[in-house]
Amino acid sequence: MRRAMAEAEVGDDVFGEDPTVRQLEEMAAEQLGKEAALFVASGTMGNLVSLLVHCGRGDEFILGDQSHTFFYEQGGSAGLGGIHPRTVPNQPDGTMALHHIEAAIRPDDIHFPRSRLIAVENTHTRCYGSPLDVDYMQVVGQIARRYEMKVHVDGARIFNAASALGVETRDLVADADSVTFCLSKGLGAPVGSVVCGTRDFIGEARRVRKVLGGGMRQAGVLAAGGIVALTQMLDRLADDHANAQKLAEGLADIDGLSIDPERVKTNIVYVEVMPCGTTWQLLPERLSSEGVRLLATGPNRLRAVTHYHITSDDIEYALGVFREVLG
């Protein structure tokens, strides 16, 4: 991947002259069954670009209360776009109940903002990396069309979802008007995400990307890593899922930890640390000092993510460190 980046043919992408960026965008659009695509700096930028194209100031979009866009993207939709988020509860499997979505859609009344968009996350980060299946995605699309709304998919890990479900990625987003996916997560590239949609949508998205400061010049040095990701990293995502399952099953056997391995469907593992004196609060720091790095996502909740650089032997080592630290 680094060799491809060093040898990339480049141009000025602001003027659409970078051949490597264009190649990546064409590959991404083809993979997801969309007309066009746009390379952006991050998933957060990709989501915000999409929201700003779909919605105007004072419009409303519906999303889950545990979604990444609502939880971790600093309220950019409201702060920069004047777009009002309306949350509904995420279910344990990452879905939003269909009746909750429909109930949240505003009637045509001057007292209310206009409901413009339904935003779905697949896989769902805070819900154990759960994949949302084709049937669910289709019904969400049907609801949106019934009310003349659009659907955006935060598909940061959409290829993990497709791998876990054994389906084509394009089938998962066939009913979406726009979708973002990250090159820099399970696909292993150092930088970047891609937004996909119709040609008209991407044309507007390119304008929005520019005003957000996302117009990059010789961006082919970054896009080249994304091309390697799309050509060499997709078929091995199942290995990450197997390693995550191995980690979950091992953690379930350690006293002081609480985890349900059956909830682990892709490459994200959440584990609850049972309070035991003051030591449990120092657990992330002690694990990190032994080379096991997890993210604390709550007072006693840790998240582990498996990826290309994590092997089965690494899982064994991590479990050994857990046992030693908690022993």
Tokens of 80: 């920069």
Average pLDDT over residues 202-208: 98
Average pLDDT, the chain: 96
pLDDT at res. 308: 95
In DSSP terms, 269 is beta-bridged to 304
Tokens of 188: 């292993």
pLDDT at res. 327: 80
Compute the residue count for the chain. 327
pLDDT at res. 274: 83
Query: Using a CB cutoff of 8 Å and minimum separation of 24, what contacts does 32-35 make?
Result: 32/158, 32/169, 32/170, 32/173, 32/179, 32/181, 32/196, 33/170, 33/171, 33/173, 33/174, 34/173, 34/179, 34/196, 34/197, 34/198, 35/197, 35/198, 35/199, 35/202
**Domain parsing of the chain, residue ranges:** 2-231, 236-326
Average pLDDT over residues 42-71: 98
Residue pair 237/186 in contact by the 8 Å Cβ criterion: yes
Torsion 154-231-192-293 (CA) sign = positive
Q: Is the pLDDT of residue 276 over 80?
A: no
pLDDT at res. 280: 63
Nearest to 280 by CA among 258, 300, 252: 300
Q: Is the pLDDT of residue 16 over 60?
A: yes
pLDDT digits (tens, 9 = 90+) for 216-251: 999 999 999 999 999 999 999 999 999 999 999 999
Please determine, looking at this structure, whether the domain spanning 236-326 carries the CATH number 3.90.1150.10: yes
Q: Is the pLDDT of residue 284 over 90?
A: no
Provide the percentage of residues in the chain whose pLDDT is more than 90.
92
Architecture of the 2-231 domain: 3-Layer(aba) Sandwich (3.40)
Q: Which amino acid is at 75?
A: G
Average pLDDT over residues 189-195: 97
pLDDT at res. 279: 59
pLDDT at res. 116: 98
Residue 243 dihedral angles phi and psi, to the nearest 5°: -65, -35
Average pLDDT over residues 113-140: 98
Q: Is the pLDDT of residue 11 over 70?
A: yes
pTM of the predicted model as reported, rounded to 2 decimal places: 0.95
